[in-house]
Structures are given as C-alpha cells and as structure tokens.
Amino acid sequence: MSEKNIMDYDTVRLDDENNEVVIIDQTRLPGSIELIGLHTAEEIWEAVYRLRVRGAPAIGVAAAYGIYILAKQIQTEDFQTFRQEFVRQKEYLDSARPTAVNLSWALNRMLTVVEKNQDKTICEIKKLLKQEAEEIQREDILVCRKIGEYGLSLVKPGDGILTHCNAGQLATSRYGTATAPIYLGQERGYHFKVFADETRPLLQGARLTAFELQASGVDVTLICDNMSAAVMRNGWVNAVFVGCDRVAANGDTANKIGTSVVAAVAKQYGVPVYVCAPTSTIDLDTPTGNEIPIEERPAEEVTELWYRDRMAPEGVKVYNPAFDVTDSALIAGIVTEYGVARAPYTESLAEIFRRKQQAPLQ
C-alpha cells in the first residue's frame, strides 16, 4: 500500500466517541504530519490562536465541532443553565481571532440551534448541535467545489496562476478556495503552472501551499513574496487567485498580509486578481475594509520564529499585522459558490445573497 501524503488526511474531523476535534497541527508542517485531539475550550482556543488550525472555512468547521464537544460536557437538564454555559463557551472561543468572520459565523449558527429548540430536551439539543456542525462541514466541501467550477471558468489550460498564503485544502475541509480551480484543473488536464508566494512572516505559502500542491502533482514553483513583480513582468502569470478572511459590503477584502501588495503589482502588469470567498466570509454589515478589525500578532514571529539565531536586534520595534485590506478597485472578481461578483460590489454581492436565499446549495 502506498504511503499516505498530506492530501489523504482530513484537515478537521470529529471523533465523537472520544469527545474530541481532531486536526492536523499545521505549525508542524511540512516537517511532520501530526494529528492532535482537542478536548477542552482552552485547547480549542489555543489551536485557533496559534494557527494549528487556520484558514477561515477550517476555523469555522473546527469551531462548530468544538462548541458541540463543549456542549456535550454541560451536565444539566435546565435549558437556561445550559444556554448560559453554552454562550459563555461560545464567547470564549469567538475571542481567539478577530478578523476571520467564519469563526463567529459558525458559532452563531450553533447558538441559533440552541435558541430555536428550547422546547426540546438537552439531550435532543446536543444531537441537533452535532447535526448542524456536520452540515457546516458538508456545506464547506460543496461550497469549495462550486468556487472551483466558477474559478476555472476564468482561466484556460496552460495558464500561469499566482497565489498568496494558503487558501488550499489545509484551510478548508476539501479543495480549498483559491486552490479549488487549480485542483479541478489538475483533474481535467489543464496543466497550470502555479507560483506560490512564501508568505512572510509565517510562511504559509512555503510550508503549506507548496507542500499540498506538490503532493497533488501540481506544477508549483515557490517564490519569495518580493518576487511577484518579476514573474508578472516576465509574463508568467495570467491570473492571481487568493482566499480571504472577510469581505466588506463594498468588495474590500481582508486576507493574509501582503495580499494588497500582490494586487497592486498585478494591477501594474494587467493581471486580474480574483478573490475566492465563500458567502460565509462576506460580511454585509461591514461597509468597507476600514471597519474590518485587523489582528496583530507577536513580534517574535518576525524576529526569530523561523531562525536558529535571532535575525533582528533585541528591543527593535515590530509591527506585525496578520492581514491587510485589498481595495475593491484592485479586484477583478469575487468568486463565490453562487457565481462571480464584479464591480460595483455593493450591488453584485447583494445579488449573490439574493441567489443564495432563492436557491440554497444542495
């Protein structure tokens, strides 16, 4: 039997019998593939904050399974007592990372299950919570597949594609968002040539995207972040596909730091930038990118995390935002599971949600 590679593992899965959420510890990649089980609120929170599980859709799935596991541990038959403890755990998990809207989106879906079923027994509510978490994961897989189909319609066989950070299978349940067109193209013989930015300072492009694309047989070339202009100027890139953690109502998007630089460079060289965004990441209550909260992370991620010896002087000031906002004017299209939204985004994103209400995915 052939040896398993990273694509053979579930990014997130529920082990109901052992009361745990099982994830790939992405901080250990690509050196070793290690699965860890999360049992407590503290373990789940730490896994999200420390990026052991990461990527907006995968965070949402992990949060849904996580709050279900925690709900199972609430020992009461009184609804109000159950709800109070559920809300306390939900708010704690929700505090792990502020930018990715999927975290609060998934937790709010789970809370809605509780509040809509207060006439049922606690045992019945717990069963419904499990069903909802499983549905969130099922939808994630279907959504990514649909994004892949729409994204694939924007490129042609043999194209060069550049991507930033990791919006691949490791960031979702399957296919990824930005990589979904790449994987579908791989299945259909499109022979894309993919350039993966290393994505400083946490190197998700080098450690994760290059790792999973190579494992899938995709023609992938790793480049440093500051090489994107060179490959575009050479004419090697026909399209940029990136994921995102939140989309504002006007089409501004928050994605891993450096995405706005890629988009600005792509504009200079006439390369279209497509943001692959499940509707769960679209926040119509946030008017523009100016209102998206941007997570700041520890200085040591920049100064020493990946080095044997410290690579910056002791005491130097460090600014380490995890995300930046790409202006909607730099985005050629936002690829969702209901089609490709284009400018003006205030109109097209609203239309995407009308389609969603009229014909939910099956």
Residues labelled catalytic: 245
Q: How many CB atoms lie within 10 A of CB 309?
A: 5
**Using N-to-C axis directions, what is the helix angle for 56-72 and 79-94, rounded to 10°?**
150
CA–CA dist 116, 316 (Å, integer): 52
CA nearest to 276, candidates 177, 343, 179, 350: 177
CA nearest to 67, candidates 17, 140, 128: 128
CA–CA dist 286, 251 (Å, integer): 10
* CA angle, 338 then 339 then 342, to 5°: 130
Contact 240, 273 (CB under 8 A): yes
Contact 103, 127 (CB under 8 A): no
Lay out the sheet containing 246-248: strands in order across. 282-283, 246-248, 253-256, 323-326
Q: Any idea which residue has 């939204």 for tokens?
A: 341
Q: For 58, phi and psi rounded to 5 degrees?
A: -65, -35
Beta-ladder partners of 241: 274
Q: How many CB atoms lie within 10 A of CB 98?
A: 18
* CA angle, 40 then 201 then 276, to 5°: 75
Write out the H or E segment, with its range, that includes residue 265.
helix 259-268
CA–CA dist 309, 48 (Å, integer): 27
SS3 call for 121: coil
Q: Enter the DSSP assignment of 321.
A: B
CA nearest to 324, candidates 273, 252, 267, 275: 252
